[in-house]
């Protein structure tokens, strides 16, 4: 269930309430999946039924996708068929993936509200695509540009290339990314400040408790 801190670290600092709700739910998802429930079907149904789903599609929000930590390979398909181990693997995959997809959908909806209140046209494709890039990167999934069609192959050699790209986009506040709107660049800068100061605070507390 590493997604709550690995992909979720940045959202923990920028959207703590949403992060907390989804982090707790991810453990419920894990237990229910281990018990035989098709939790991902429920998660996907929830996202698709949202009134903002058409905007998610236009924004190319990464929901309903396969995550890099759990690639769809022959090896993983075999593991899933192994008694007990297969159920444990599926429960882990569900907790991880459901957390990320819910976070993306929830944070995307929040940014739509912020954009609307800021007078931004949330029907504009350029704005939606920019918000999609912001949310995807914030949750560990950057876009590889011309290499995107080969991302799954690259992932077999170099683990998590999309996450690395997402981290780069986040750390540069999307300043190096083409086609990103002023609204999203501003939100990205705010996020960067929140995560840097939040992480610094945690490191300071840790060093105070146990220096070094």
Contact in structure between 148 and 95 (CB atoms under 8 Å): no
Q: What is the pLDDT of residue 75?
A: 76
Q: How far apart are CA 155 and CA 69, in angstroms?
A: 9
| C-alpha–C-alpha distance, residues 65 and 43, integer Å | 12
> For residues 24 and 144, what is the distance between their CA atoms, to the nearest angstrom?
31
Q: How far is Cα 3 from Cα 22, in angstroms, rounded to an integer?
A: 11
> What's the pLDDT tens digit per position in 27-66?
999 999 988 999 999 999 999 999 999 999 999 999 988 8
For residues 83 and 184, the model is more confident at 184
Residue 82 pLDDT: 86
Using a 10 angstrom Cβ sphere, with 0-12 exposed, 13-18 middle and 19 or more buried, the burial of residue 179 is exposed
What crossing angle do the helices spanning 125-138 and 182-209 adopt, rounded to 10°?
A: 10
Q: What is the pLDDT of residues 93-125, one digit of tens each?
A: 999 999 999 999 999 999 999 999 999 999 999
For residue 43, count CB atoms less than 10 angstroms from its CB and return exposed for 0-12, middle for 13-18, buried for 19 or more. buried
Tens digit of pLDDT for each residue in 145-182? 776 666 666 666 666 788 889 999 999 999 888 889 99
The pLDDT of residue 3 is 92
């Amino acid at each position: 269930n590493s997604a709550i801190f690995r992909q979720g670290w940045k959202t923990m600092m920028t959207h703590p309430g949403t992060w907390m709700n989804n982090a707790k739910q991810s453990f419920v998802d894990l237990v229910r999946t281990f018990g035989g429930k098709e939790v991902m079907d429920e998660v996907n149904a929830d996202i698709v039924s949202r009134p903002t789903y058409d905007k998610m599609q236009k924004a190319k929000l990464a929901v309903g996708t396969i995550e890099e930590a759990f690639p769809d390979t022959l090896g993983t398909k075999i593991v899933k068929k192994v008694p007990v181990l297969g159920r444990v693997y599926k429960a882990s995959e569900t907790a991880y993936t459901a957390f990320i997809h819910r976070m993306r959908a929830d944070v995307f909806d929040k940014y739509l509200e912020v954009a609307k209140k800021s007078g931004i046209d949330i029907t504009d494709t350029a704005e939606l695509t920019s918000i999609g890039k912001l949310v995807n990167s914030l949750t560990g999934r950057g876009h590889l540009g011309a290499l995107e069609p080969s991302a799954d192959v690259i992932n077999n050699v170099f683990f998590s290339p999309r996450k690395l790209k997402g981290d780069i986009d986040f750390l540069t506040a999307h300043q190096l990314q083409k086609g990103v709107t002023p609204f999203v660049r501003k939100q990205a800068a705010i996020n960067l400040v929140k995560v840097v100061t939040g992480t610094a605070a945690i490191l300071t507390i840790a060093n105070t408790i146990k220096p070094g």
